[in-house]
Structure 1
Amino acid sequence: MTAPLVAVAHGSRDPRSAATIHALLDVVRAARPDLDVRVAFLDLSAPRVGDVLSAVHGDGHSAAVVVPLLLGRAFHARVDVPAAVADVERRYPRFRVHVSDVLGPDPRLDGAAWRRLLDEGADPDDPELGVVLAGAGSSHAAANRLVADVADRWQAKAAWAGVVPAFAAAAEPDVPAAIEALRARGARRFAVASWFLAPGLLPDRIIGLAREHATDPLIAAPMADDEGVADLIVHRYAETLTAAPLQLSAAL
């Protein structure tokens, strides 16, 4: 019996967020109809991780693979996901939950965010365009560095006036500071790229600040149900299943 893939997202009070995550997992199911794919949330949305894993156990599975839908290894990846898994394994001592790496860093995420930006009309050959690559922000510096690294890679392959990371909370620069930095580099037009999987409070904060501090900025949609992100989720599942001593007949 193949171990189910349990995709775990952060969760949000904004119903658009959960709907977007469900749409993303529909793309995963379409790509791999042989997999049992389930969705769970850490907080603020249902169903919760413990309830989904309990249901997997109740369906007769001896193991599951959790794929955190997180873009970096910040607090949720280092604390919340392991705690939720440990609680389930305490309740079901013979049930094994294997946790994959988070989604980032990976070129498929870079590609998804890049495509969303170009979909909004950003021209890679426009030397007067300044691009803000906007992420959530974290007290964990390494998670913020991942966003900055993407900005550096984009800068190297485009003729833009600049690409500057910005964060909604917990890290600098914020959006106004990023826009001012881009103006200092000669940007006359602005675009905001989204280092988010789904819409919600923090992406809305980014959008509001961008519109306050720039005239008619291009606003890219979150990565959402991009096929590259779906492929990455399947990849994280497959590499975890291969590495784990599950002894299951998964068709990888």
Structure 2
Amino acid sequence: MAAPALVALAHGSRDPRSTKTITALVSEVKAMRPDLRVEKAFLDLAKPGFQTVVDRLVKAGYDEIVVVPLLLTEAFHAQVDVPEAIAEATTRHPGLQIRVTSILGLEACFLEVLDERLREALRHSRVRELDALVLAAAGSTDPLANQAVARLARLWGTHHKLPVSAAYASSAPPATGEAVRAFRAEGRRHIAVASLFLAPGSLVDRASELALEAGAVAVSAPLGAHPEVARTILARYAVGAVELVPV
């Protein structure tokens, strides 16, 4: 019996850089587990859509699917969009079993990826000294999602023994520019910003623009198609696949 198919479900974006990054990330997952059927899908704004991918898998004979939401926080998309998409798919395909795993979330191991991306940005900007850090995320109207980012920022700051502020590209203060200016008001002049986003897009661009305008010395690229992220997707899949096994 074939193992359940893995669908890596991203929100989607009109920005082609985002789709390209998700495609590269899923390719990384496939390279790690060539024995699995691995597909990418999007909730909105990009193709292939989730229902299209489900139809394709059912046609190929799969009756079990593990969906890994490529989301960093438990905000609206995780709470509403993903369950609605799953409900539609199971209604359209009676007998199909779909297990949705936990979101990617804010794993502590992602701090290593943030550090790697930030080192790249610092080398590019020829920066050798830092006295403050800003962790930039998308932001949400859900305070619990923002609090999760703030907790990760504190953990990151403790690791580097530097003051860190969480900042948000939308829906919640402070914006990245405000966070940078607050540190500069304290007399700090070497402030770098790490991008806690999975892929490039307009929010990332805006957060970067505001940070640089406010005086940040460097802004990192998003997490992107990093092996650590791919391994986390596979870890989520493993749990979901076990949950599909009859007891």
| TM more than 0.5 | yes
CA–CA separation in structure 1 for the residues paired with 2:144 and 2:52:
31
Aligned ranges 1:41-190 → 2 under 5 Å: 41-121=42-122, 126=129, 128-160=130-162, 162-190=163-191
Partner amino acid for 2:157? Q
Please say if 1:195 is aligned against 2:209: no
Letter in 1 for 2:121: E
Question: How far 1:100 sits from its partner (Å)?
Answer: 0.5
1-side partners of 2:111 and 2:158: how far apart? 13
Q: Deviations over 1:86-111 (max 9, x none)?
A: 00100111001110000113122222
Report the CA distance between 1:73 and its aligned residue: 0.8
Q: Distance in 2 between matches of 1:81 and 1:239?
A: 18
Q: Distance in 2 between matches of 1:73 and 1:5?
A: 20
Shift of 1:159: 3.5
Query: Percent of aligned pairs with the same residue?
Result: 42
Which digits, 9 at most, give the CA deviation of each residue in 1:166-187, with x for residues without a partner?
1010011111221122224432
- The equivalent of 1:242 in structure 2 is 242
- Give secondary structure in 1 for the equivalent of 2:122: coil
Structure 1 Cα separation of the partners of residues 110 and 161 of structure 2: 21
Match for 1:104: what amino acid? G
Q: Which amino acid aligns with 1:154?
A: W
TM-score of the superposed pair, with normalisation by structure 2: 0.93
- Mapped contact 2:177–2:214 kept (Cα < 8 A): yes
CA-based RMSD: 1.9
TM-superposed CA distance for 1:121, in Å, is 2.5
> Which deviates the most, 110-119 or 135-144?
110-119
Q: Which residue of 2 aligns with 1:231?
A: 231
Residue 34 of structure 2 corresponds to 33
Q: Given residue 230 of structure 1, which amino acid in structure 2 is its aligned partner?
A: A
What residue ranges of structure 1 are gaps of 5+ in the alignment?
A: 248-252
The question of whether the paired residues in 1 share the 8 Å contact of 2:19 and 2:46 is answered with yes
Deviations 1:140-190 (Å, cap 9, x if unpaired)? 111111111111011112133x21111010011111221122224432112
Secondary structure at the aligned position of 1:121 is classed as helix
- Residue 250 (structure 1) aligns with: none
- 1:15 aligned residue: 16
Distance in 2 separating the partners of 1:246 and 1:133? 42
Runs of 4+ in 1 over 4 A off after TM superposition: none
Q: TM-score, normalization: structure 1?
A: 0.92
Matched AA of 1:192: V
Counterpart code for 1:133: L
Conserved? CA contact 1:130–1:183, under 8 Å = no
How many aligned positions are there?
244
* Contact 1:63/1:246, CA 8 A, preserved across alignment: no
Partner residue of 1:220?
220
| Distance in structure 2 (CA, Å) of the matches to 1:164 and 1:98 | 36
